[in-house]
Amino acid sequence: MTLSLHKDKIRFLLLEGVHENALKVLNEAGYTNIEYIKTALDEEELIEKIKDAHFIGIRSRTQLTRKVLESAEKLIAIGCYCIGTNQVDLEAALELGIPVFNAPYSNTRSVAELVLAETIMLMRGVPEKNAVVHRGGWNKSAKDSYEVRGKTMGIVGYGSIGSQLSVLAESLGMKVIYHDAITKLPLGNAVQVGSLDELLEKADVVTLHVPDLPSTRNMMTAAEFAKMKDGAFFINAARGGCVDIDALAAALESKKILGAAIDVFPKEPKSADEEFVSPLRAFDNVILTPHVGGSTQEAQANIGLEVAEKFVKYSDQGDTTSAVNFPNVSIPFTEGTHRLLHIHKNVPGVLSQINAAFADAGINIAAQSMMTKGDVGYLVMDVDDNDSEKALQRLRAVPETIRVRVLF
């Protein structure tokens, strides 16, 4: 169990050379006890170092397994300074009462820009012309070469990336239609259509920006490509599982689809040593990129800010908004109070037990919010500052307690 610590006692271990913006944000918030290491650590070193850390920041190479997490007795939170969180045993972290944060929206603009550029390149037939010229050819022709102005972009998934792309595409004079699982407020002059089929029938370029869900897996098969306009273009920078690649190859072969840009694949090489295998390699009119839609210097800098800000909010306020594995709780501070954070096993009766114990001890609760996720519940409470020591003792006595902290 962790008591409130002075900021200079709260120890941050930042690995894998996370962007220096993270150091800036933490320092500005008063956290200076930071060990910054440029590389990943092997398991033995990691277990040794993590023992003293309250917060750990990693990128994709550090494996936070159950074994490593169980040795991290003081650990309060994990920050993945990247998008993916597969390198962390999220279930184990939850059971141990440790929220995991990441930066899912730091590279929105990077993806939107790439897709916009690809739209222009595809409509001008540049990928194929580029390949021919590289081989010494000179096919100087305007056939199948179009301006994007006045053409219709069909965006599937109007979330962070889809809506940003919509604004950029309209600024080039494109018409934008979109399809989303839910009703979304349009930006600019974009129009939501009633179904995916309607979008496929109307769009000159179709681009996917949906998450990887059972409902989006293989959402583009031969039947969907058949519904697209003859000579339309197709872009996927969302998730590889959304598209039946053989069906796309067949649509390219038959010239139903005039060109495509694909950044994500059902099976991607695990490292630079592994060969990328795909039927799409055969097509000059397909732009193939190795899952770099969001990989820019600006995105790295944004990630440094975003995750460090989440660390500060959790450390200062107990705010777990957007933690990937953990109940999300956020409440404003109440004047003249101390804040108690109680992480407990999610079984019936814990809240009533706590409220009864506080009533019995004459502790007034100024604010209270609780959420649960899986086997874990997270309760945030503000109590009169004179009562926090007493409240802490009562919380520690609750048998289902995993961790308690007091903030003041």
Assigned token pair, 233: 């273009």
- Cβ(280)–Cβ(306) under 8 Å? no
Smallest separation (angstroms) from ligand NAI to the CB of 193: 11
Using the contact rule CB under 6 A, the part of the chain among 27-35, 103-111, 140-148, 273-281 near ligand NAI is 103-111
- 153 touches ligand NAI (CB under 6 A): no
Q: Does 238 bind ligand NAI (CB under 6 A)?
A: yes
The helix or strand, by DSSP H or E, that contains position 13, with its residue range, turns out to be: strand 12-14
Size of the site for ligand NAI (CB under 6 A): 32
Question: Binding to ligand NAI by residue 124, rule CB under 6 A?
Answer: no
Nearest approach, Cβ of residue 147 and ligand NAI (Å): 26
Interface residue with ligand NAI among 159, 240, 304, 318 (CB under 6 A) is 159
Q: Under a CB-based contact definition with an 8 Å cutoff, are residues 196 and 209 in contact?
A: no
Return left, alpha or beta for 374; rule: phi > 0 is left, psi -120 to 50 is alpha, else beta. Answer: left
Which residue type, as a one-letter code, is found at position 281? Answer: R
Stretch that binds ligand NAI, among 2-10, 57-65, 158-166, 340-348 (CB under 6 A): 158-166
Q: Does residue 216 interact with ligand NAI by CB under 6 A?
A: yes
> Could you give the C-alpha distances from 305 to 16, 25, 102, 103, in angstroms and in order?
16, 7, 11, 9
Q: Does 300 bind ligand NAI (CB under 6 A)?
A: no
8-state DSSP, 243: B
Smallest separation, CB 44 to ligand NAI (Å): 33
Q: Contact region for ligand NAI (CB under 6 A) — 152-160, 246-254, 353-361, 399-407?
A: 152-160
Rule CB under 6 A: say whether 286 interacts with ligand NAI.
no
- The answer to whether residues 208 and 220 touch, using CB atoms and an 8 Å cutoff, is yes
**By beta-carbon distance, which residue lies closest to ligand NAI?**
159
Q: Select the residue interacting with ligand NAI from 3, 182, 272, 277 (CB under 6 A).
A: 182
Segment 322 to 351, residues that bind ligand NAI, using CB under 6 A? none
160 touching ligand NAI, by CB under 6 A:
yes
Nearer to ligand NAI among residue 240 and residue 327 (C-beta): 240
Would you count residue 211 as binding ligand NAI (CB under 6 A)?
Answer: yes
Catalytic residues: 239, 268, 291
Work out how close the CB of 118 gets to ligand NAI at its nearest, in angstroms, rounded to a whole number: 12
**H helix runs in 287-331, sequence order:** 297-317
Q: How far is the CB of 260 from ligand NAI (least distance, A)?
A: 14
Beta strands at 376-384 and 337-345: parallel, antiparallel or unpaired: antiparallel
Q: How far is the CB of 121 from ligand NAI (least distance, A)?
A: 17
Residue 264 touching ligand NAI (CB under 6 A): yes
Site for ligand NAI in 13-32 (CB under 6 A): none
Tokens 């990937």, located at residue: 324
Grouping H, G, I as helix, E, B as strand and the rest as coil, residue 53 is: coil
Choices 28-36, 181-189, 306-314, 384-392 (CB under 6 A): range interacting with ligand NAI: 181-189
| DSSP, res 334 | P
CA angle 256, 260, 264 (to 5 degrees): 130
Q: Report how many helices (DSSP H) and strands (DSSP E) the chain contains, helices first.
A: 13, 16
Q: In this chain, which of 41, 64, 96, 237 binds ligand NAI, going by CB under 6 A?
A: 237
- Selection from 58, 55, 53, 46 nearest residue 18 by Cα: 58
Helices (H), 89-173: 90-95, 108-123, 126-134, 160-171
The answer to the question of residue 107 lying near ligand NAI (CB under 6 A) is yes
Is residue 270 within 8 A of residue 290, CB to CB? The reply is: no
Give the rounded distance of the alpha carbon of 236 from its chain centre: 17
| Backbone φ/ψ region at 121: left (φ over 0), alpha (ψ -120 to 50), beta | alpha
Per CB under 6 A, residues contacting ligand NAI are 83, 105, 107-108, 111, 156-162, 179-182, 184, 209-213, 215-216, 237-239, 263-264, 291, 293-294
